[in-house]
Amino acid sequence: MGTLQEFKEFALKGSVIDMAVGVIIGAAFGLTVKSLVDDVLMPPMGMLVGGADFADCYILLKPGSLVPGPYPSLASAQQAGAVTLRYGQFLNNVINFAIVAFSLFIVLKVVLRKKFSAPPAPSPSRLP
């Protein structure tokens, strides 16, 4: 019974609950950034480079054993068992990382500035 009570006290501490909320918000933020990159940023970038979907950009390293190349898409290459270097998906992930890292940098900068800012100097009192 003692172990269960200790676990309950640990789980209900404010710091654990704060951490859980942070993890949930972080996961939601990650999904939002992924959607921003995949659905908003990459389509116009793809249009600028000839209408390519970056997630579908790849280099064929070895044709598949089921169907020989060339393949019209990454999905068809993967279905054929081809070995591919998926640089487009890597580019999407790098952009996702850069946005999350920059956002975290800004949030931490604001939080630390508020946390460690010097208290306002006391105003000089007037002598009578």
Q: pLDDT per residue over 32-59, tens digit each?
A: 888 888 888 888 877 887 776 777 888 8
By residue count, the chain amounts to: 128
Q: How many Cβ atoms sit within 10 Å of the Cβ of residue 79?
A: 13
Confidence of residue 120 (pLDDT cuts 50, 70, 90): low
Percent of the chain with pLDDT over 90: 2
**Average pLDDT of span 63-81:** 85
Confidence of residue 1 (pLDDT cuts 50, 70, 90): low
Q: What is the pLDDT of residue 126?
A: 60
Spell out a b/e string for 41-69, using b for 16 or more CB atoms within 10 Å of the CB, else e: bbeeebeeeeeeebbebbeeeebbeeeee
Distance CA 26, CA 10 (A): 22
Domain coordinates in residue numbering, the chain: 2-115
Q: To the nearest whole number, what is the mean pLDDT of the chain?
A: 81
Read off the pLDDT of residues 4-23 as tens digits, 9 standing for 90 and up. Answer: 888 777 777 767 777 888 88
pTM recorded for the entire structure: 0.61
pLDDT at 128 over 60: no
2-115 architecture in CATH? Orthogonal Bundle (1.10)
Query: 41 and 54 in contact (C-beta within 8 Å)?
Result: no
Q: What is the pLDDT of residue 65?
A: 83
